[in-house]
A and B are shown apart, each in its own frame.
Chain A
Amino acid sequence: MAEQQAKWLSCAEGGAGSEPGSLVRFARLEQLLDWGRANSLWPLTLGLACCAIEMMAAGAARFDLARFGAEVFRPSPRQADVMIVAGTVNWKMAGPIKTLYDQMLEPKWVIAFGNCAISGGPFVFPGQYAVVEGVDKLFPVDVHVPGCPPRPEALIEGILELEQKITGTRRWPRVKTA
């Protein structure tokens, strides 16, 4: 029990490689900031298409994104840390979405949620004229979450992955598939 508590504490402090044991801990300011950021990733409210419903489901009762501090959907890009691109981006929407990305304050991250955001998804065929084939054509993407639509659990996994990218440690052990 005590051992496990110590493990959690060392996790929470984001001190990679620090000795578990006591509550008081010394860390570099950068590490502390990263720890804070990783635990309160505020996403931008940006529902584009079908995938947005799964994003809403992830924020609602059963999947409860609040457990990971990422449920505070902000309508204003100036208050958001992470842009979850949930749905199809077409060329008419490309301009506004690029503006939204530019308006977000640093540090900022992007999760491409769903096949459409990753590559254009099911709407890619020779001669297609509307869909942006992947939002990484517009701005850098940190985490890709595949699926059409991905399950809410997949979004949670994406958030955990992003946390790991920020702090260098993973909050929860990865589930091993047989």
Chain B
Amino acid sequence: MSPGHPTDSSVSAAAPRETFVLNVGPQHPATHGVLRLKLTMDGEYVLHAEPVIGYAHRMHEKMGENRTYVQFLPNPSRIDYLSAMHYMHAYVCVVERALGIEVPPRAEYIRVITSELNRIASHLVWFGAFLLDLGAFTPLLYAFDDREKILDLLEAVTGSRLTYCYYRFGGLCNDVDEQFIEGTRAFVKHMRGRLGMYHKLVTENLILRKRLEGIGVISAELCRKYGATGPVLRGSGVPCDVRKLEPYSVYPEFEFDVPHFAEGDCMARYKVRMEEIAQSLRIIEQAIAKLPPGPVMAEKVPRVIKPPPGDYYFAVEAARGRFAIRLVSDGTEVPYRLKLRTPSFSNLALFGEAARGLLMQDALALLGSLDLVIPDVDR
């Protein structure tokens, strides 16, 4: 060592605290799509996180003002493609509310069954992708295997695997058959067993617990501040579910719990979603048992949809939280305004504050536990 060269310990004592900016995305495997994060880092710790959005903006709201009500039908399922059924549900229901259409009970029951199947499929994708972020590859293969079973059922009645356009104003485009009912029954049984396996293999895994417990704590107050909903809010101990608080469709007729855990960490959000799969299975089982016969389409649906002038609103519980549509009609064939309130946007908004002070890899675990769909953020 040359004379006058500082020793190691004197370097660390005298060194200024330097920070640097780390750019994550827009193409990055941990951001699930095209989200970009600007992280100001102090070594391994996140000092400041700023999400940059807009890389998947697709003009859904503008398109709403440009096309007729029927022409907009394919759009909702492409806003959040993982919970397409729920988005379709909100859209057809807001128009039905505006037109005052009564939907036959059979159609509503089938809407509930398909919606809940879709919720399970969505949570399975999250389950696989989240664990992939944490470094476990195998669960993804199991989750997608189960998801394919749901997609087979839904494809048989809706005709598509992902972007379902199954609901119509006043009902459904076609009825379900005996095969679907049987298949769904078999799936519920199958999924219960698989859920047990997931808990044994994954939930009780020590490595997973070490990576999730106590990490990325979000308080209920923070959720309120940013308007976070869905599993994120329920993971902070607030039993808030649109299906219970503002019941729509035939949900009041079913018994189910709203899982919530007070810890507010990544593990709590994990447990909420896993528990929700079990609750969805419960709803599906009851809905199949009670499924009434009858038509699946209301009788008096006008050919040209022209809702009377006014301001209409409808909210549903999508897989990621509260999705709401506000429709302003001026009495013409085209909506005057179609405002979409998407859950991922609010859930992402709290990331900047919640990630402060976390280790880099914990911040990414937090991001994964929020279950974001980027086109849903950007609309």
List A residues at the B interface (Cβ < 8 Å).
44-50, 52-54, 56-57, 60-62, 75, 87-88, 90, 92-93, 96-97, 100, 122-123, 125, 127-131, 148-149, 151
Chain B residue numbers with a CB within 8 Å of A49 are 33, 56, 58, 78, 81, 374-375
Given A125-B66, A151-B161, A50 and B78 contact (CB-CB distance below 8 Å): yes
Given A47-B32, A50-B375, A60 and B144 contact (CB-CB distance below 8 Å): yes
Contact at A92–B375, with CB atoms within 8 Å?
Answer: no
5 closest residue pairs by CB, A with B: A60-B144, A50-B81, A61-B145, A61-B141, A75-B29
Contact of B174 with A by CB under 8 A: no
Given A49-B33, A53-B125, A60-B145, A123 and B58 contact (CB-CB distance below 8 Å): yes
Contact at A53–B57, with CB atoms within 8 Å?
Answer: no
Chain B residue numbers with a CB within 8 Å of A96 are 26-27, 34, 55
A-B contact count (CB 8 A): 99
Given A54-B161, A61-B141, A75-B28, A90 and B56 contact (CB-CB distance below 8 Å): yes
Which residue of chain B has the shortest Cβ distance to A93 in the bound complex?
B55
Which residue of chain B has the shortest Cβ distance to A49 in the bound complex?
B375
Chain A residue numbers with a CB within 8 Å of B81 are 49-50, 53, 149
Chain B residue numbers with a CB within 8 Å of A48 are 33-34, 56
Contact of B206 with A by CB under 8 A: no
Contact at B27–A130, with CB atoms within 8 Å?
Answer: no
Roughly how many angstroms separate A48 CA and B27 CA in the complex, as a whole number?
9
Contact at B162–A50, with CB atoms within 8 Å?
Answer: yes
Given A48-B34, A148-B163, A100 and B375 contact (CB-CB distance below 8 Å): no
Query: A88 touches which one: B32, B58, B161 (CB < 8 A)?
Result: B58
- Most B CB atoms within 10 A — which of A54, A61, A97, A122? A61
Give the number of chain B interface residues (Cβ < 8 Å).
37
Contact at A100–B63, with CB atoms within 8 Å?
Answer: no
Chain A residue numbers with a CB within 8 Å of B142 are 61
List B residues at the A interface (Cβ < 8 Å).
26-29, 32-34, 54-59, 62-63, 66-67, 74-75, 78, 81-82, 125, 128-129, 140-142, 144-145, 147-148, 161-163, 374-375
Roughly how many angstroms separate A47 CA and B57 CA in the complex, as a whole number?
14
Chain B residue numbers with a CB within 8 Å of A47 are 32-34
Query: Chain A's nearest CB lies how many Å from the CB of B181?
Result: 23
Chain A residue numbers with a CB within 8 Å of B144 are 56-57, 60-62
Contact at B57–A52, with CB atoms within 8 Å?
Answer: no
Contact at A93–B26, with CB atoms within 8 Å?
Answer: yes
Query: A62 touches which one: B67, B125, B148 (CB < 8 A)?
Result: B148
**Inter-chain pairs besides A53-B125, A54-B161, A92-B57, 17 sampled, C-beta below 8 Å:** A47-B34, A48-B56, A49-B56, A49-B58, A49-B78, A50-B163, A54-B162, A60-B128, A61-B141, A61-B142, A61-B148, A62-B148, A87-B56, A123-B59, A123-B63, A125-B63, A127-B66
Chain A residue numbers with a CB within 8 Å of B54 are 92
Contact at B59–A129, with CB atoms within 8 Å?
Answer: yes
Chain B residue numbers with a CB within 8 Å of A128 are 59, 62
Contact at B163–A46, with CB atoms within 8 Å?
Answer: no
Chain A residue numbers with a CB within 8 Å of B34 are 47-48, 93, 96
- Most A CB atoms within 10 A — which of B74, B82, B141? B141
Roughly how many angstroms separate A123 CA and B64 CA in the complex, as a whole number?
11
Given A49-B81, A92-B57, A130-B59, A122 and B145 contact (CB-CB distance below 8 Å): no
Query: Chain A's nearest CB lies how many Å from the CB of B344?
Result: 13
Which residue of chain A has the shortest Cβ distance to B146 in the bound complex?
A61
Chain A residue numbers with a CB within 8 Å of B66 are 125, 127
Roughly how many angstroms separate A92 CA and B74 CA in the complex, as a whole number?
24
Which residue of chain A has the shortest Cβ distance to B32 in the bound complex?
A47
